[in-house]
Amino acid sequence: MSKHKVLILHGPNLNLLGRREPEVYGKKTLADIDRLIKERAAVLEIQVAAFQSNYEGQLIDRIQDARGNYDGILINPGALTHYSYSLRDALTAAGLPLVEVHLSNIFAREEFRQHSVISPVASGVICGFGATGYLLGLDALLAVIKER
């Protein structure tokens, strides 16, 4: 059987990780997080490809290309979480198992962060566990893919 393939998407401003606001988002850089994800993927014997963009349209292009090429999507949509119906529509259209991850506990933050327009189309959401959330999310996503 060929390896399952997962697309990891990081939204706007996540390229700043580790360099600003470490008290909110932790000290790890995005490269550190991608390395941890790849290590976990090797243990799980799955393939991952990671992509970060500050542009909504670039994320949508990747999601459109994912249909037929990936078995699932793990996404931290950044602030697009809270208002991007275009991102949500693309994720719905992709029709792939989807896990939403947030570094911070969005429910313990400003009111505008407490609502996600992405969560209703996700298989599940993990938030508040920092970089570990991506690894928990990868495990959860693989379980959903296998159940499908």
Q: What is the DSSP letter of 99?
A: E
What letter does residue 79 receive in the DSSP assignment?
A: G
Tell the smallest beta-carbon distance from residue 15 to ligand CA2 (Å). 8
Q: What sign does the CA torsion over 36, 40, 49, 11 have?
A: negative
Of 10, 25, 70, 134, catalytic: 25
- Quote the tokens at residue 66: 């994912």
Q: 14, exposed or middle or buried, with CB in 10 Å at 0-12, 13-18, 19+? A: buried
Binding site for ligand CA2 (CB under 6 A): 13-14, 16-17, 20-21, 25, 76, 78-79, 81, 102-104, 106, 113
Catalytic residue check, 85? no
Nearer to ligand CA2, 103 or 141 (CB): 103
Nearer to ligand CA2, 112 or 148 (CB): 112
CB of 38 to ligand CA2, least distance (A): 19
Q: Which is nearer to ligand CA2, 25 or 70 (CB)?
A: 25
- Catalytic residue (one of 4, 10, 102, 134): 102
Minimum CB distance to ligand CA2, residue 71 (Å): 23
d(CA 61, CA 45): 27
Query: In 3-state terms, what secondary structure has residue 105?
Result: coil
Amino acid, single-letter form, for residue 136: L
Report, as residue numbers or ranges, the catalytic residues.
Answer: 25, 102
